[in-house]
Amino acid sequence: MSDNKKDQTLEKVISLSKRRGFIFPGSEIYGGLANTYDFGPLGTELKRNLINYWWNTFVSNRTDMFGLDTSVLMSPKVWEASGHTENFTNVMIDCLTCHFRTRADHLIEEAVKDVSNVEGKPLEELDALIKDNGIKCPKCGNKTWTNVRNFNQLFETQIGIITEGKSTAYLRGELAQGMFTDFKQILDSIHPKLPFGLAQSGKVFRNEITMGKFTFRTLEFDLAEFEYFVKPDEWEKHFEYWKKEMYDFAISLGLPAEKLRWRSHTKEELAHYSKRTEDLEYEFPWGFKEMWGLAYRTDFDLKNHMDKSGVDLRFTDPYTQEKFLPHVIEPTFGLSRLLTIILMNAYSEDTEKQRVVMKLPAGLAPYKVAVFPLVGNKEELSSKAKEIFNELKKTTRVVLDERGNIGKRYFTQDEIGTPYCITVDYDTLEDNTVTVRDRDTAEQKRIKIADLSSILI
């Protein structure tokens, strides 16, 4: 697929998402707020299905994983101990002519063809790359740049209602710290055995300045991750195990293998807490970029929290009584970013039938089934359709659509990704059969109403 066609696909997905109620620009009636998006009715269902699928895969269906839901606001001492107030930074640059502000590493990567990743390089080297390559401001075309400088991604807020009594706090920039600070309470309450994991999903906040390419990069976004605690000398085997599990999960979402690849972080770009990190990258229209990350955090977090808090966070081996700090493997799944990937991957144009089809995996689709009564003897057909709808909604997500032309109703459901449509017609009233239409093939067949549940699961 050409780059132009890829870009068109993204633009079409953005348009469809707004038109059909998947994702809206945030604060749009006031001109919007860059890098913020709201999930509409269908987007909310899609995201909920995705979170539930992740949760069932990595938490509910395992005996070594325990779920948490920790606070967005924590003591600022947490972020000081974890190193985020000092090290959670990106590199920023401004155009002196038009005051356009962006990330310097992204500016270089997009402007210089032979450069694919400069994250973590010294500020002086980034300055030299911008100057030597004559990089122009993408907004005004001038080359009048400030020097590159660091900025912290944590969002600051204030706790307290009296100005002089306020204290600084931070919106969480990752989910991990809540799981580390609850570690001792987990040991004391449920007494898990190594290896085990603590998992959660939820909102995180990062002060991004680069335009986000839809939900690829936003100020607040949904993450799902877990901290998997292991014996220090066994971290490598667990790292490789979770690397395979993450890849298999991506494939289970219908993502094509040829659009996925692993990339190891260089020494310069490793986070301050990591000794080894690999990104599972996806081929976006703008190239291969991070989809999810897998990090070996060693005992960095537990050690620092134990040192700073004075609380013993060591694990006691129940057999040898040895006390030690477990090491941590951290798989992180960016769900907001993943939604853009899923929508782009699902988008399909059927030129023969002149329809757009969102080929969403059936388990993720906002609606699994749509029920249509034919227009005609409306009251009787409508009553039968509602009867079928009420029965199906006991076991699946179903929508009843009685509006207008049947063909347009089919095409509407194709665009929002509904796998099956059921049409109630006059024959239904005679023999209790309905027409079931497949989204992807548009093929139709008659099915007994009594058999619907087993066929549509």
**Which has more pLDDT, 178 or 211?**
178
Q: Measure the CA–CA gap between 91 and 149, rounded to whole angstroms.
A: 5
Residue 67 burial class via C-beta count within 10 angstroms: exposed 0-12, middle 13-18, buried 19 and up: middle
Q: Among 210, 199, 207, which residue's Cα sits nearest to residue 107?
A: 210
Write down the pLDDT at residue 214: 87
Q: Measure the CA–CA gap between 120 and 105, rounded to whole angstroms.
A: 9
Q: Among 262, 260, 215, which residue's Cα sits nearest to residue 239?
A: 262
Q: Which of 228-237, 326-335, 353-362 has the lowest mean pLDDT?
A: 353-362
Q: Measure the CA–CA gap between 401 and 387, rounded to whole angstroms.
A: 13
What is the tens place of the pLDDT at every residue in 366-422?
999 999 998 765 788 999 999 999 999 999 999 999 887 888 999 999 999 999 999
Whether the predicted pLDDT of 6 surpasses 60: no
**Which has more pLDDT, 149 or 5?**
149
Q: Measure the CA–CA gap between 420 and 436, rounded to whole angstroms.
A: 7
H or E element that contains 49: helix 41-55
Q: Give the CA-trace dihedral at 110, 243, 245, 314, to 10 degrees.
A: -120
Write down the pLDDT at residue 240: 98
- The residues, any chain, with a CB within 8 Å of residue 202's CB and separated by 6 or more, are 69, 70, 72, 175, 222, 223
Residues 56-67, mean pLDDT to the nearest whole number: 97
Question: How many CB atoms are closer than 10 A to CB 423?
Answer: 22
Q: Which residues pair with 295 in a beta bridge?
A: 277, 330
Q: Measure the CA–CA gap between 203 and 174, rounded to whole angstroms.
A: 9
Write down the pLDDT at residue 233: 96
Write down the pLDDT at residue 457: 63
Q: Which residues pair with 122 in a beta bridge?
A: none
Whether the predicted pLDDT of 164 surpasses 70: no
Write down the pLDDT at residue 367: 96
Residues 111-118, mean pLDDT to the nearest whole number: 80
Has this prediction a pTM greater than 0.95?
Answer: no
Write down the pLDDT at residue 409: 93
What is the tens place of the pLDDT at every residue in 206-220?
987 766 688 888 999
Write down the pLDDT at residue 4: 52
**Could you tell me the sign of the dihedral formed by the alpha carbons of 251, 254, 259, 265, in that order?**
negative
Strand, coil or helix: what is 264?
A: strand
Write down the pLDDT at residue 87: 78
Q: Measure the CA–CA gap between 38 and 365, rounded to whole angstroms.
A: 18
Whether the predicted pLDDT of 100 surpasses 90: no
* Alpha helix segments (H runs only) across 253-364: 300-309, 335-346
CA angle 361, 365, 368 (to 5 degrees): 105
Phi first, then psi: give them for residue 146, nearest 5 degrees.
Answer: -75, 170
Residue 197 burial class via C-beta count within 10 angstroms: exposed 0-12, middle 13-18, buried 19 and up: buried
Strand, coil or helix: what is 122?
A: coil
**Average pLDDT in the chain:** 91
Write down the pLDDT at residue 162: 64
Q: Measure the CA–CA gap between 159 and 317, rounded to whole angstroms.
A: 40
Tokens of 140: 């005004």
**Which has more pLDDT, 390 or 120?**
390
Q: Which residues pair with 403 in a beta bridge?
A: none
**Which has more pLDDT, 123 or 294?**
294
Question: How many CB atoms are closer than 10 A to CB 161?
Answer: 7
Q: Measure the CA–CA gap between 390 and 373, rounded to whole angstroms.
A: 14
Confidence of residue 246 (pLDDT cuts 50, 70, 90): very high
Residues 185-189, mean pLDDT to the nearest whole number: 97
